[in-house]
């Protein structure tokens, strides 16, 4: 990393740093890409993301099985990923081929994945992949993936700049080069190029330049995590807002933005509640504003046995599953919880101190009774069953400040994970922004229904492949190899002349792009602060702006999506983006939150544009979201007509939805997915 001459914007001087590889973010995907010597990590908070938040669930890792007696192969694993829908075949194969390298890399740096007595990874079958391809870490060990990767990065001497809030990507944006016509229904675009990023250094915000800092790089690894800030309530850590909006702003193509996963989450701890916590069969109840309690699930099932068996089966599903709900399965529990909270205005709890009314383990479904019987967990209360299922549960709960012996656990249906994100190739480089490498959850490679642990594997395979592509490019290994021996002198002379011209042109492009980003940032700050700075307090304008897109995402981008209002929601989202210039803040301390709200507003417009396009393509209900329409299919006798749903248009599983933001307008297109090579 080297310090360059500051960039002057009027009288304001902005410090400039330069490095080979700029890594934005510090989660497990970002850290896995830190292999080059000239790398710099810039992050808001080193341990602030989802990678560091050890929750209540075991951490799965999906990889090729090496101990399958029937024989596994990368192509078989790719077929499993492909079956999830809306996944490119070559990406699925790359993730399968790279899974063992990435898995053993983590094991080699000290991640304690369980092994059998012969040294093979201990694999389990899961809901979407019954083959023994998934290794699990206990909840207390899940944070170790991040800790071991961080130790490896520190051992390499890679500098980490904390307190850096990315507010803009410095880039030449892609342009539409050919508009759609009768003969060519899809437009053509030029390819953009990223040169670095503009940050706010939170420790320097009182300086004349408001803490602005420019970092230029040959490549940008973008590991900013999922878009937790889009939702008012989610399973994301409070500090993980995501930053996909910055990439959307420079025109980076997005894939499958409709595919957000939802599920049951503990309200006080924001922890995902599935697995053993459901299989312990707690007592579900709701509490009204006057304190009255009601076991709301009981009248919705034909018998207590059916209710309890459904709750048990809910433990097998990490997320709400639209197909499962349409088939009358255990995902109906999520719907009933959502209905209780949203329509009836009641808080919902899981009580582990008392059995549900009518509890009779002798008449449980065969699957539930058999598993609990094997663990000697049929008797007692739900907390007793939970301790049999999860021997370390008391330690996990104490770490999170939860006491199930003292009080019930409040829950809600919340956003868990985004399977969609930025569109990238098989080297995890953006399909239309050269030098931008989205890794981890911000990368939209995950499709509709990935198996448990597939996203963690994709983050590690993607990080390693991005680092490899960057290293090869730096070494010049991407140069053409077609020159004949007799042409070497001519090629060398031409390359030198071309390189000199390109260097001069590139330098001018970088300066121009950097100047535009810095001028825009200063304009935004000065406008939001208004004439004469006020004391460092919050005047509410920013909160109102955030509350607006949170509400819109809850109403139109959540688990339940109304077909009728989808396009109107997308239109209103863009209206809000256009109104950002009206936002005011009470002091410099709010500058990072100002820019965060700005990019999240644009991101929510992109997500809602994708949902509107999906509804208009008659995509129906799939993944973890239901599209409701009065003319749809009834899900349950207790749910009235507003809950009728449109069934999935399965042919769309063979397409990837691409959304681009160009010249201030979103455009949604459908791209047929590539087959497995």
Check pLDDT > 80 for residue 139: no
Q: Per mean pLDDT, which range of 133-147, 247-261, 598-612 is the poorest? A: 133-147
Q: Per mean pLDDT, which range of 42-51, 223-232, 532-541 is the poorest? A: 532-541
Closest CA to 356 of 418, 416, 308, 300: 308
DSSP assignment of 109-141: TT----B-TTS-B--EEETTEEEEEEEEE-GGG
Q: What are phi and psi of 128, to 5 degrees?
A: -105, 0
What are the CA-CA distances from residue 28 to residues 21, 133, 447, 455, 456 (Å)?
Answer: 17, 20, 20, 11, 8
Residues in the chain, total: 677
pLDDT (0 to 100) of residue 535:
41
Kindly state the average pLDDT of the residues 381-388. Answer: 95
Check pLDDT > 80 for residue 580: yes
pLDDT digits (tens, 9 = 90+) for 321-371: 999 999 989 999 999 999 999 989 999 999 999 999 999 999 998 989 999
pLDDT (0 to 100) of residue 55:
64
CA pair distance 538, 558, nearest whole angstrom:
29
DSSP 481: -
Kindly state the average pLDDT of the residues 6-31. Answer: 96
Instruction: List, in order of start, the domains of the chain with CATH numbers.
Output: 2-56+140-260+417-475 (3.50.50.60), 262-415 (no CATH), 528-651 (1.20.58.100)
Q: Per mean pLDDT, which range of 2-16, 52-66, 517-531, 557-571 is the poorest? A: 52-66
**No. of H helices and E strands in the chain?**
17, 26
Q: State the pTM of this model.
A: 0.93
Please provide the average confidence, as pLDDT, over all residues in the chain: 90
Q: Which residue has the higher pLDDT, 642 or 654?
A: 654
pLDDT (0 to 100) of residue 391:
87
CA pair distance 251, 176, nearest whole angstrom:
10
Tokens of 603: 């991101």
Kindly state the average pLDDT of the residues 413-434. Answer: 97
- Name 24's bridge partners: 42, 222
Q: What are phi and psi of 643, to 5 degrees?
A: -100, 5
Beta strands per DSSP E along 367-483? 409-418, 421-422, 433-434, 436-438
The residues, any chain, with a CB within 8 Å of residue 647's CB and separated by 6 or more, are 326, 620, 621, 632, 633
DSSP 287: E
pLDDT (0 to 100) of residue 122:
87
């Amino acid at each position: 990393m080297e310090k360059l001459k500051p960039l002057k914007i009027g009288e304001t001087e902005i410090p400039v740093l330069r490095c080979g590889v700029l890594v934005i973010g510090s989660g497990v995907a970002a850290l896995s890409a830190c292999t080059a010597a000239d790398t710099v990590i810039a992050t808001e908070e080193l341990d602030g993301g989802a990678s560091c938040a050890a929750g209540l669930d075991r951490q799965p890792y999906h990889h090729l099985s090496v101990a399958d007696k029937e024989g596994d192969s990368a192509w078989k694993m790719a077929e499993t990923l492909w079956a999830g829908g809306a996944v490119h075949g070559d990406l699925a194969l790359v993730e399968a081929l790279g899974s063992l390298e990435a898995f053993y890399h983590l094991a080699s740096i000290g991640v304690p994945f369980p092994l059998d007595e012969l040294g093979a990874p201990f694999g389990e079958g899961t809901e979407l992949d019954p083959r023994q391809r998934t290794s699990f870490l206990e909840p207390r060990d899940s944070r170790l993936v991040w800790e071991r990767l961080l130790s490896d990065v520190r051992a390499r001497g890679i500098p980490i700049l904390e307190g850096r809030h990315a507010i803009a990507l410095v880039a030449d944006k892609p342009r539409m080069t050919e508009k759609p016509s009768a003969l060519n229904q899809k437009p053509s675009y030029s390819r953009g190029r990223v040169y670095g990023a503009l940050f706010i250094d939170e420790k320097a915000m009182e300086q004349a330049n408001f803490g602005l800092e420019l970092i230029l790089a040959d490549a940008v690894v973008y590991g900013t995590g999922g878009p937790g800030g889009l939702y008012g309530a989610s399973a994301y850590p409070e500090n993980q807002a995501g930053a996909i909006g910055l990439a959307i702003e420079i025109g980076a193509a997005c894939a499958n933005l409709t595919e957000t996963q939802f599920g049951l989450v503990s309200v006080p701890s924001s922890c995902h509640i599935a697995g053993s916590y459901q299989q312990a069969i707690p007592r579900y109840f709701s509490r009204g504003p006057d304190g009255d309690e009601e076991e709301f699930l009981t009248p919705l099932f034909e018998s207590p046995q059916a209710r309890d068996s459904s709750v048990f089966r809910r433990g097998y599903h990490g997320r709400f599953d639209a197909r499962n709900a349409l088939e009358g399965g255990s995902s109906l529990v999520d719907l009933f919880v959502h209905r209780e909270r949203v329509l009836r205005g009641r808080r919902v709890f899981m009580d582990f101190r008392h059995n549900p009314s009518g509890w009779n383990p002798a008449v449980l479904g065969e699957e539930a009774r058999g598993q609990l019987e094997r663990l000697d967990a049929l008797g007692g209360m739900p907390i007793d069953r939970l301790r049999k299922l999860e021997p370390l549960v008391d330690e996990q709960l104490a770490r999170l400040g939860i006491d199930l012996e003292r009080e019930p656990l409040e829950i809600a249906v919340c956003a868990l994970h985004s399977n969609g994100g930025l569109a990238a190739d098989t080297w995890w480089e953006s399909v239309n922004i050269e030098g931008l490498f989205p890794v981890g959850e911000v990368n939209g490679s995950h499709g509709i229904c990935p198996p448990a642990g597939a996203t963690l594997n994709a983050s590690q395979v993607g990080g390693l492949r991005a680092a490899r592509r960057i290293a090869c490019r730096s070494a010049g290994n991407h140069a053409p190899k077609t020159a004949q021996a007799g042409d070497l002198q001519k090629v060398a002379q031409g390359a030198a002349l071309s390189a000199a011209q390109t260097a001069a042109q590139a330098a001018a492009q970088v300066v121009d792009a950097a100047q535009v980003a810095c001028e825009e940032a200063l304009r935004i700050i000065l406008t939001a602060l208004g004439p004469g700075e006020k004391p460092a307090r919050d005047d509410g304008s920013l909160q109102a702006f955030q509350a607006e897109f949170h509400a819109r995402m809850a109403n139109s981008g959540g688990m339940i999506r109304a077909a009728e209002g989808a396009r109107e929601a997308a239109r209103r989202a863009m209206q809000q983006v256009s109104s950002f210039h009206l936002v005011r803040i009470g002091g410099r301390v709010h500058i990072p939150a100002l820019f965060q709200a700005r990019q999240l507003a644009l991101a929510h417009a992109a997500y809602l544009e994708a949902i509107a396009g999906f509804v208009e393509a008659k995509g129906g209900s799939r993944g973890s979201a239901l599209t409701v329409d009065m003319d749809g299919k009834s899900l349950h006798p207790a749910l009235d007509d507003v809950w009728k749903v449109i069934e999935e248009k399965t042919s769309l599983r063979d397409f990837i939805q691409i959304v681009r933001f160009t010249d201030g307008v979103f455009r949604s297109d459908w791209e047929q997915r590539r087959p497995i090579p």
